[in-house]
Structure formats: structure tokens, C-alpha cells
Chains A and B, each alone.
Chain A
């Protein structure tokens, strides 16, 4: 099994009276892509800044590729970062920009030149290598930023919202690069994002933060199953019988009716799935609501069950925390 490349233990950061990150503990293995999720202000960026030594923790510790946080310079040699709001010197060319950063990591001029050329090719910017960054699109800048994060062949790569503001094609390109970083380079990737479909697509595990604390962590499947026990279904009945259907459903325990967007004939059922309801049986799961509606002589025109998704888990965790 691949070794642990990133390990945080009770990491805490306070800004005055405000606690941005509290007692954060987790670990990530080589080649893993960990999705760092959380609403705005959850502490994702602060967590990344702590783990990349830009900020010093108030308490707790962490290590990157076995290097303890007491050796920040050594850690910076082993991490690559695409910060959330990274700026780029518009007057520099892509090559000059990467060459400069490669030299900051101790590469000679010729090695830096070689690395810059290779990385620009790898992120699909070879043709624009000699163009000024000011002429790059947002997607190209993001890919350039990722290339910069790779100049030192890092053990752990932190990407803070790398697809923010990109069009679908740009998002696909960036996600493919993220996948390749883990698969081809064997680096651990920490991907902070609000786009949950991206996490489902590329991440092997997730970490949901809320108000600076870890709400849950594990593989996407585990988190979804463990946390998002709710299941949804959409039930369509004749418009004139919606009231009767609602009355029938009101008598079913563990069920919530949610408004469906602009369709009064559709009832969105949210069911809290517990161990008993998973066992099957005439009144378990969605059988209960269906039976209740049919017993009330309301014909069901359509019935669609939605499985639990990561977004359900995310909302459940962050809503619960907020309350």
C-alpha cells in the first residue's frame, strides 16, 4: 500500500478571537486525490496555507512526505501549490515565468529552461510558451499555475479551486491534468473546490470542513452512504389530486415533502433512510409513501427515485453544522 504523504494532527489556526481551523486531523496517501470541501469560510484556504507553510499554525502539527512542519523550507521543496487567487506577471512569457520559479527551487538556468519547456508542453501551452501571460485566457493561466506547481516535482500538490471561472472545456482540461498528476506522477493531490461533481469525478476521498472543523472524511462512497442517508424521489400525480396526495403522505413517518421547482403536480419526497428502511419490506424505503398515495386512490403518473449524492452529504453536514 502506498505510503502516507500528508499527515495533519490537531492542526489549529486562530486569527485573534476567530478560529479558522480547529483540531484538523487527517492523512493522505501517495497517488490519492483528496477533495477538500466546505462552504465559503469553512477554512479550506487556511488549511492549504497551513499545510504549505505560508501560515504558521497556532497549535498542532503536520508532515509532508515525512518532513515535519518544523522544517518549513524542506516542506516547501516537496509541495506544489496553485493558490486560490494567484496573480501572474502579465509582462512575462509563460517560459520566463516557469523558468524563474524553477530557479527559485535551485535549478540551474539550463535545467530550469528544460523543465519549463516540458511542463508547458504537458499542460498544453507549448504553442503559447513565448507569448506574454497578459494574452492568456483564464483557463490558460490556470494551467500555467498548475505547471508552476509542478516545477519542483512535488510529493503533494495543493490546488485551490483550479476550475473556478473556467468554461466546461477548460474545466475538463484541468480535471484531466489533476487526474494525471496523481496517476502518472504518483503525487498526492489536495483539491479544494465547490464543484461537487468534480470531486465525484476525480477524487478518491473527501474531507468536508465546516467552520474550521472536519465534519466527515473518507471515500466519496463512504461519505455519501454514511452521511447522506436521505433519499429523494419525485412523484407526479394529477394536478387536481395533489392535495389528497399530500394528506396521504403527511401520515407517513420519517418523510419530508419539499417543493419541486415550478411543477405543482410533482411532489419531491425526502426520506430519512435508517437501518430499518434499508432491510426491505412492504413499507420500507419508498414503498411506504407509494403505498400511502395509492391507498388514497391517487394515481401515480410517474415515480423517480434519486440515489444519495455527495451534494446531499455536503448539504447535510454543513447545514447540521450551521444549526
Chain B
């Protein structure tokens, strides 16, 4: 054999790599690598570019179009912010839905599970990487909102509100995506289920004439984390409500985040595993 040969030493029994030097926490190492994979592979930049094209068209229409330019400036800012939040969380959900089942299918999950990094830390690392996509889409939307909001003292509040509500929603949907990805029997299944969830959550926001009125309509809005968040943005930015008045609308994204995160934290070691599906391994 040429070129090989282990420069070894007879090891001490029980030895093994322990924390040496200035080491990073496991979740951070996973997050860094996931971010590199996402952004260097071209997937992240591609999604953000597509998002910026959509936003450009929307902003152009809102500024010059014969129909959309009749929108009051506040409504134009709100509409653009809603699109930014909606598309941002959409891509976050899709990326997180691929995070575990995709690795499983590519055969790289086993080597990750064989490391001392806990499954909980793996989930947190993947969550952080997925959220980087949401943050990128939000940063891209800042100049558009600034252009549309010129002249009204709304841009700063809209940006802060969008960042807070969007991050809450992105965390909720990313955790939901990770949960689906963990229990999905295959990558196809987890992506299909995630897209179905997206459709189910976004469909009510696109109903002609809005959601049904009355207590039932209100209940539907409040149960749907996406619809509830977008209603909250509109209530503050367009109707002029205070930030605290409709906070109850943010209950459903918060509950979704807590429930999905809770399941991943409590049962992470059982559901983040080599084989997907809901049956025992």
C-alpha cells in the first residue's frame, strides 16, 4: 500500500476526544455548517433572489400600477410587509422540512447521530440555520419598505413590528417544519406535508372578501398562526391600534412555537432518529 499508514500510538484505555481548546457548543457547530450548506450551495441565495424579484414587482406595482397605487401609503407598506413575512416564513418552513428527512435520505444523518452532540442540539442548530433564511428575506425587504413608506413616519415601526412578528412566526413554522421532517417517513412526505400545511395556513388569507365574519370567522383567524399574525400587522399599521391592543392575535403563533418546540425538546431523542415514520425504531 502506498501513501497510507496510520501514524498511531497505542491509546490509553478509555481515552477519546474530550473538550479541548476553545470549543463551540454542538448546536453552534451544527448551525454554522448548516448555514454554510444553505448559503454556499446556492440554495439560500437563489431563494432570496426569487423573493427579491417578487418584492420588486410588487413594489413597482404599488408605486406605479393603476390599481395598486390607489392604496393608501400605510396600506402599501402593510401589504409589502405582509408579503415579506409570508414569503419569508414560507421558505423557512420549506428549508426546515428538508433539514432532517433530507439528511436521512442523503445518508448523512447517521454520522451526525454518532457524534456526542445531542439530538436536541442538532435540532437547535438546524433551526438557527433555517431562521437565517427568514432574516435574509427580511433584510432584503427593508429597502422596499423604506421606499414605499417615505413621507409617513411608519417605516421604523413597520420594520420593528415585522421583525418581531415575523421572527415569532418563522420560529413557529420552522419548528413545525422540523417536527414534520423528523417524523416524516421520507423527504418527499415531509415536503408534501409541509406544503399542505402552508396551503392550509395561507388559503384563508387569500379568500375573496377576507375570512368569514362573526365569532366563527374571528376564531378561524385566531387559530391560524399566519392569518392571526398578518391581522395583527394590519391592525397596528393600517388601523392604527396600539401594539398591545391586539396582542391576543399572536397567541396562535406563540402556542404553535411552544407546542412544536416542546415536542422536539421533550421527545427529540426519540423522534430525531435514523429511520423516519411514526412507528417505533
Contact = CB atoms under 8 A, between A and B. Distances in A.
Interface in A175-212: 176-177, 180-181, 183-187
Given A111-B20, A124-B3, A66 B13 contact: yes
B6 A177 contact: yes
Nearest to A78: B16
Task: Report, as a range, how many residues of chain B touch the other chain.
Answer: 35 or more
A213 interface: no
Given A77-B16, A83-B110, A184-B9, A104 B29 contact: yes
A3 B107 CA distance: 34
B33 A106 contact: no
B8 A124 contact: no
Contacts of B273: 54
A20 B274 CA distance: 16
Interface stretch (B62-70, B111-119, B218-226, B248-256): B111-119
Contact of B114 (A54, A103, A110): A54
Given A15-B281, A124-B4, A108 B9 contact: no
A85 interface: yes
Given A87-B108, A180-B8, A185-B9, A155 B15 contact: yes
Contact of B11 (A76, A79, A88, A187): A187
A52 B22 contact: no
A77 B116 contact: yes
Contacts of A308: none
A273 interface: no
Given A16-B280, A83-B110, A186 B8 contact: yes
A181 B9 CA distance: 9
A5 B108 CA distance: 27
B30 to A, nearest CB: 7
Contacts of B10: 31, 184-186
Contacts of B29: 100, 103-104
A153 B11 contact: yes
A52 B15 contact: no
Given A103-B23, A111-B21, A124-B3, A155 B115 contact: no
Given A104-B115, A106-B23, A66 B14 contact: yes
Given A87-B108, A176-B1, A108 B21 contact: yes
Interface string A147-171: 0101111110000000000000000
Given A107-B17, A110-B21, A148-B111, A15 B11 contact: no
B281 A55 contact: yes
A71 to B, nearest CB: 10
A167 B23 CA distance: 39
A107 to B, nearest CB: 6
Interface string B14-44: 1111111111101001100100010011000
Interface string B161-200: 0000000000000000000000000000000000000000
B240 interface: no
Contacts of A172: 1
B4 A176 contact: yes
B82 to A, nearest CB: 35
Given A177-B4, A185-B11, A49 B16 contact: no
A102 B111 CA distance: 12
Nearest to B112: A104
Contacts of B278: none
A184 B14 CA distance: 16
A56 B280 CA distance: 11
- Among B5, B30, B106, the one with the most A-chain Cβ atoms within 10 Å of its Cβ is B5
A15 B275 CA distance: 12
Given A106-B116, A107-B23, A185-B6, A89 B37 contact: yes
6 contacts: A65-B14, A86-B111, A87-B107, A101-B115, A105-B17, A151-B17
Interface of B: 1-11, 13-24, 26, 29-30, 33, 37, 40-41, 106-108, 110-118, 273-274, 279-281
Given A76-B114, A181-B8, 8 more contacts: A78-B14, A83-B114, A89-B37, A154-B16, A173-B1, A180-B4, A180-B6, A183-B8
